[in-house]
Amino acid sequence: MARLVAIGTAVPPYEIQQSEARAFAKELFSQSFHDIDRLLPIFDHTGIAKRSFSKPRSWFEQDHSLAEKNQAYIEMACHLGEKAIQRCLQQAGVEVTEIDHLIFVSTTGMATPSIDAHLVHRMGMSPHIKRTPIWGLGCAGGVVGLARAFEAAKAFPNHRVLLLTVECCGLTFRRNDLSKSNLVATSLFADGAAAVLVVGSEVDEYHSNGGPSMVGAMSTIFPHSLNVMGWEILDDGLKVIFSKDIPMLVRKNIQPLVVDFVQKHDLTLDDIDSYITHPGGRKVLEAYQEALGLSKEQLYYSYEVLKQYGNMSSVTILFVLAEELKQ
């Protein structure tokens, strides 16, 4: 078994209110949509009040090459990743040299050597540290990374496993993409990082820390789902792809999956007190409520993280988990 010891989070310095993002979108997308005023209420209906970005608003008003965007991603990913790791390890009372395995998750930029390698050098980690960079999981990456950390700590009970997720969604913005998908993305996505320390049963923190035990993980791949979320890689950057059917997919699929998972651990839905769900957007959270028969109050922290930070892709679920654990 493994135990979750601490979570550290970080966001970049440029905070933008949702009202400012709405005004920016109106100016930019009005040349593509003559009925732009009919579409702009999506900004008001997201449940988002503000978001943090790696660049100021003026940066988004200019064109940038893929190379320029990606260099900005590398620099900010290292900066945010270091801050999140420092905050996590400070909570746990663990030195960076004591980490045995670093798992890095991201989807919004590319680097070889990967960001985890940069951070090993930058932070003075052990030269013998194990590294597992994972790319391309999108919003699911936070949960998948946590599952891999759990499995690694279970397999090596004397190991400290550090999961780091970093997403700079804002840096993927393509100013000349005047599609409805990009308009919706402009209303939702943001930047951030989260680091989670998971330890095996033979590590001191396992016995001294009051964090939760991790007892299982399960993943499911839906058929015909490759077009639900992703990137189309173009000369000027990463073009966002996501389906309007995501809330419907949650309503249709999540309840039987959760039932199947908890039954494997001799539980029923009546035994579950709390759910930590990815706040992909207000409609996604409402779909979770409907599918699982939950009240809005039962997803309070998911709604609150969405309000204060927006959708940071893989990072967001770990912000929700951090808020839940504070209670």
| Residue pLDDT, tens place only, 306-326 | 999 999 999 999 999 999 999
Answer whether residue 81 shows pLDDT above 90.
yes
Strand, helix or coil for residue 269: helix
Span 151-188, pLDDT tens digits: 999 999 999 999 999 999 999 999 988 888 889 999 99
Helix (H, G, I), strand (E, B) or coil at 241: strand
Residues, the chain: 327
Q: Which of 78, 88, 139, 169 is catalytic?
A: 139
Q: What mean pLDDT, rounded, does the chain reach? A: 95
Q: How far apart are CA 171 and CA 193, in angstroms?
A: 14
Q: Confidence band (pLDDT; 50, 70, 90) for 207? A: confident
Q: Residue 210 — pLDDT band, cuts 50, 70, 90?
A: confident
Q: Is 139 labeled as catalytic in the residue annotation? A: yes
pTM to 2 decimal places:
0.96
User: Within a 10 A sphere around the Cβ of 233, how many other Cβ atoms?
Assistant: 10
Query: Per-residue confidence at 32, pLDDT binned at 50, 70, 90?
Result: confident
Q: What angle do CA 50, 189, 294 make, to 5 degrees?
A: 80
How far separated are the first and last CA of the chain, in Å rounded?
Answer: 23
Indicate whether 241 pLDDT > 90.
no
Q: What percent of the chain clears pLDDT 90, i.e. is strictly above it?
A: 82
Q: What is the pLDDT of residue 148?
A: 98
